[in-house]
Amino acid sequence: MLQAAHEQNRCSWNYMTVIHNRHKVNQAEYLRSGGSTLFPEELELLGALKSKKLLHLQCNSGQDSLSLVQMGAVVTGVDISDEAISFARQLASDAGLKAEFIRADIYDWFRQAAEAGQRFDIAFSSYGALCWLSDLQLWAQGIRSVLNPGGKFVLVEFHPFLQMLDDDWRLAGPYTVEGKPTIYENGIGDYVAMSGEMLAVSGYVAFEAPPNPHAVYEFQWGMGDICSALIDAGLRISKLVEYPYINGCKMFPRMRELPGRRLVPPEDVPQNLPLMIGITAINA
């Protein structure tokens, strides 16, 4: 069943990835001129990148991956979406930046990479990645299997607390559901349209996209699930940060925009809520 859920999600991502990139213009030109889609939080946790072999898990369409290349990293990006990887490869070519992009379910890729002896100095994942993972234990074990000794994993992600909120900022759902999949009939949404230039930093084109016809399965994990999976896999958590803002993605109505493409709750909602997390874990 879980493999079928992954394939269903791949179809939904294939459909919406095309739409997301239609909103974003001049992406190759933006990268070619030295532009970056990264935020300070990722760069702080990643540290020095010059000549580091970096694995970008669930890399989507490669914009962040190629921004990491511009920082000196040697990047391999992996994503389940055919459309995302096809776009990433073309974007790399058009921007004159070199990276390897692989279309694969990361669980399959972890096994193949470990068997082939592939190793990386850094593994990286960010923003809306964990909800597509059906097995956190296997995910964490896979990360460790491809990290060099002393290598590190960096995660910047939306805080699991957000799973409990509805669009009116009310507590409306459970914190965790013990890894059981939840199906959403509307599929991947057009979060680029919701966020506009906050995400489309190279230029934004507004249009109303047709509904996504492909439902998705999401997996809801809490902080304990995430940290325990990494620890159980043999990784040592060296840093855990909770941020009271979201970078770039306007996930809820009425969010207020701050400098640096940060988003915070509206003024009638308690402030300093945990909205984003950063984790660094070392393969000790």
Range of the domain at 55: 2-282
Asked if 264 contacts 223 with a C-beta cutoff of 8 angstroms, the reply is no
Task: Report the distance separating Cα 253 and Cα 236, nearest Å.
Answer: 37
The CATH number covering residue 93 comes to 3.40.50.150
- Kindly report the pTM of this predicted structure: 0.97
DSSP H/E element including 18: helix 2-23
Kind of pairing, strands 276-282 and 236-243?
Answer: antiparallel
Q: Encode the chain (284 residues) as per-residue pLDDT tens digits.
A: 688 999 999 999 999 999 999 999 999 999 999 999 999 999 999 999 999 999 999 999 999 999 999 999 999 999 999 999 999 999 999 999 999 999 999 999 999 999 999 999 999 999 999 999 999 999 999 999 999 999 999 999 999 999 999 999 999 999 988 778 999 999 999 999 999 999 999 999 999 999 999 999 999 999 999 999 999 999 999 999 999 999 999 999 999 999 999 999 999 999 999 999 999 999 99
Structural domain total, the chain = 1
DSSP state, residue 203: -
Spatial CB neighbours of 160, under 8 Å, sequence gap ≥ 6: 175, 176, 220, 221, 222, 223, 226, 277
